[in-house]
Every structure is written in structure tokens, then in C-alpha cells.
Chains A and B, each alone.
Chain A
């Protein structure tokens, strides 16, 4: 087992304790009849484990492996249509091969976004989640095995468009980016605080449209800060290009400096 993050070990967070059949989880000196029906014939098994323990363990293992290979994975999350795919297309084009960039596309049913990414020349793996409205650590793990990103590369993960579910699932990414666009309500951060609280960076997209929409930027920024005081914020336009230098700087700072070692393990 790795001593840094605990990955690779067995299910270490779980404790299984068998409590004898006549032991109750409440004290026994109360006055109700001893043949209390729910107590007898059952025994209590203490599990005391996080519901998401399995996901979080796998995410930790993924994070550790990615770090070892100097691969930077960025989890992009937003409501449907905030501009995740557009930002990715533009970012890949801007990088122009200076850093190998690969994409994992999470989508409930379609391959459309993956095809858009494909036409930029980037390698892309599609994960169709079907009814599931978020990616989890296992899906990313499988996606990475398929993608086989080279050492030192940048991997963008476009999560399913949804501001609720992805908040709960750690994928093992290096950073979480939440995009909100000015065509949405400025009160989104107040309505989806869980999501904004997990963000390392919030991009306020489509600022080219500000003259045409009624969007209170100050209110939005204030709400974001209220939910997550130390989050970084960048206003951008993925189509017109505003703010993208700052986005590229942020990405460069996020990129792991660790020296690449060996090839990313490919499975299956």
C-alpha cells in the first residue's frame, strides 16, 4: 500500500464488528418487555463506513497514479449548455500541440461532443452514462484505461451537464472547474451551493453576451464567494476569446511538475 495516500490497499476504511445476537444497540435497563420483536432473532453488524468509500478510494488511487505520471486531469462541470465543449475546442486549438491534450467526454446518450473534440485532432474517449447523470471514479478509471494518456499530458474530463450530482463524486482529478454562463441566472451559486463549494476554479462564460442579457455579475461573484470564499474566478468568453490567457495561465500552474516515469498502465 502507498504510504502517501493509502491507495492500493484493501478496503481500509471499513470496520466490521459482529455484535452477539443478544446484545442490543441500546441499553438494556429500560422497562419494556424483553421479547421486543425487532431485537431478537437479529444481530447488529456495525459497518461504520462512508457511503462513498469505494468511490473515494478508487479516486485516491487514480489521483496518485496520475500524479506519478505527471498527468493533469481537469474535471469540467456545468449546467447543460454553459460552454464546456466549446471551451475545450478552443483550448485545444489555442494550445496547438504545445502540450498533448486528451479528452474524456461524459454524456448520457450521445457522441456529439466527442465528435466535436475529435475534429480538433485530440484523442477522445466517450463515456455514455445512460440514466446516470454524473461520472464516478470507476467511469474515469475505465475511461483513462481506454485513453492511455502519455506522461505529462493534460486530460480534460467533460462531466455530464448537471450542477447537482457531480458535486458528490470525486473522480481523482487534479482540479475541479465549474462553468456558469451569463445566460443562466446569477443566483445559480446559491441554488447549487454543493457544486460551487467543490470548485477550485469558477469560469464565468459567455461574457461577450453581457450587453444583451440581464445578468448581475457582482451578485453572482458575491454568491460564489459566499459559498466558497477562497475559490478562483475568471470571466471568459469561449467563443470570442476574452479571458482565455488567464485560463491558460491557470492551467499551466495546475500542471504537475513531477517528472514522468513510465507509461500509463493500460488495461483490458
Chain B
């Protein structure tokens, strides 16, 4: 399970945060940004607390400095090919109640920048 205290030691969250800031600056330039809305699914492998922690560091000195981070965390949804049921799951070890691991993940892996509020 991902989790635990946020730290820069989880460097993939740092790299993810850098990708977020770079992508936004590339799209909208250096103008001041009031808020950023992200979608980080619960099965994405990315810890949102770490993103928040890294964001303060990475955004410093850019137009995103001090911006509010709104993070939607969609639940995981999967379809079990064995019992043909659709169900929600937030555990990265994906197992249907029937015991099968033969699942199609329908949602929960999102890693998206939805929008920014530009001042």
C-alpha cells in the first residue's frame, strides 16, 4: 500500500509534480495561477499528500507559487471477467470477492491535469 508520511524521498511524486508544473507553464505561460485542479486516481500509485508537499517546493518561483491545489481522487472501478460483475476497489492488490484477479480496471488510474484558474 502506498502511504505513510509525505517526503521528498518518494521521488516519483517529485517528478510527477515537476511534470505538472512544467505542463502548466508550457500551456499558459508565467502568468499567476490561483488554483490547479488535478485528478489522481486511487489506483494510480501516486500519493496525493506527497504531491501537495512537493508542489509547494516545485511551484516556488513560478507563476504557480502559492496556488491552491484541488485534487479529485476517483475511486477504482473494475470489471471481473470471471463473475462478470463491476465493483469499486481502492486496494492496489486487485482481487474480486470471487477470488479472481482477472480484472479490467475501468477507473482509478487517472493522472490528469483538469484545469487551472488564472488570475
Chain A residues packing against B (C-beta within 8 Å): 14, 16, 25, 38, 41-55, 131-134, 136, 164-165, 167-169, 190, 193-194, 225-227, 229
- Contact of B15 with A132 in the complex, beta carbons under 8 Å: yes
- Give the most central of B10, B16, B95: most A CB within 10 Å: B16
Given A38-B34, A131-B11, A164-B12: A48 and B23 interface contact (C-beta under 8 Å): no
- Contact of B11 with A46 in the complex, beta carbons under 8 Å: no
- Contact of A44 with B115 in the complex, beta carbons under 8 Å: yes
Q: Least Cβ distance of B97 to chain A in Å?
A: 14
- Let me know if B19 is at the binding interface, CB within 8 A: yes
- Let me know if B28 is at the binding interface, CB within 8 A: yes
Contacts of B27 in A (CB 8 A): 14, 16, 45, 47
Number of interface residues of B (CB under 8 A): 32
Contacts of B59 in A (CB 8 A): none
Number of A-B contacts (CB under 8 A): 98
Contacts of A42 in B (CB 8 A): 34-35, 117-119
Given A132-B15, A133-B11: A47 and B114 interface contact (C-beta under 8 Å): yes
- Contact of B12 with A165 in the complex, beta carbons under 8 Å: yes
Closest partner residue, chain B, to A14 (CB atom): B27
Q: Least Cβ distance of A130 to chain B in Å?
A: 10
Given A43-B117, A45-B118: A55 and B34 interface contact (C-beta under 8 Å): no
- Separation of A41 and B31 alpha carbons in the complex (Å): 13
- Tell me the chain B residues, 25-71 only, with Cβ under 8 Å from chain A: 27-28, 34-35, 38, 45-46
Q: Least Cβ distance of B80 to chain A in Å?
A: 12
Contacts of A169 in B (CB 8 A): 12, 15
- Contact of B15 with A165 in the complex, beta carbons under 8 Å: yes
Show 17 residue pairs from A and B whose CB-CB distance is below 8 angstroms, ordered by the A residue: A42-B35, A44-B118, A45-B27, A47-B114, A48-B114, A49-B23, A49-B113, A51-B16, A51-B111, A52-B111, A54-B19, A133-B11, A164-B12, A169-B15, A226-B93, A226-B101, A227-B93
Given A134-B12, A164-B12, A165-B11: A226 and B95 interface contact (C-beta under 8 Å): yes
Q: Least Cβ distance of A27 to chain B in Å?
A: 16
Closest partner residue, chain B, to A16 (CB atom): B27
- Tell me the chain B residues, 55-103 only, with Cβ under 8 Å from chain A: 92-95, 101-102
Chain B residues packing against A (C-beta within 8 Å): 10-12, 15-16, 19-20, 22-24, 27-28, 34-35, 38, 45-46, 92-95, 101-102, 111-119
- Give the most central of A45, A55, A134, A225: most B CB within 10 Å: A45
Closest partner residue, chain B, to A166 (CB atom): B12
- Give the most central of A45, A48, A49, A51: most B CB within 10 Å: A51
Closest partner residue, chain A, to B31 (CB atom): A45
- Separation of A165 and B54 alpha carbons in the complex (Å): 15
Q: Of A49, A164, A229, which one neighbours B101 at CB under 8 angstroms?
A: A229
- Contact of A133 with B111 in the complex, beta carbons under 8 Å: no
Given A47-B113, A226-B101, A227-B101: A54 and B118 interface contact (C-beta under 8 Å): no
Contacts of A49 in B (CB 8 A): 23, 112-113
Contacts of A227 in B (CB 8 A): 93-94, 101
Given A134-B11, A167-B45, A168-B45: A48 and B102 interface contact (C-beta under 8 Å): no
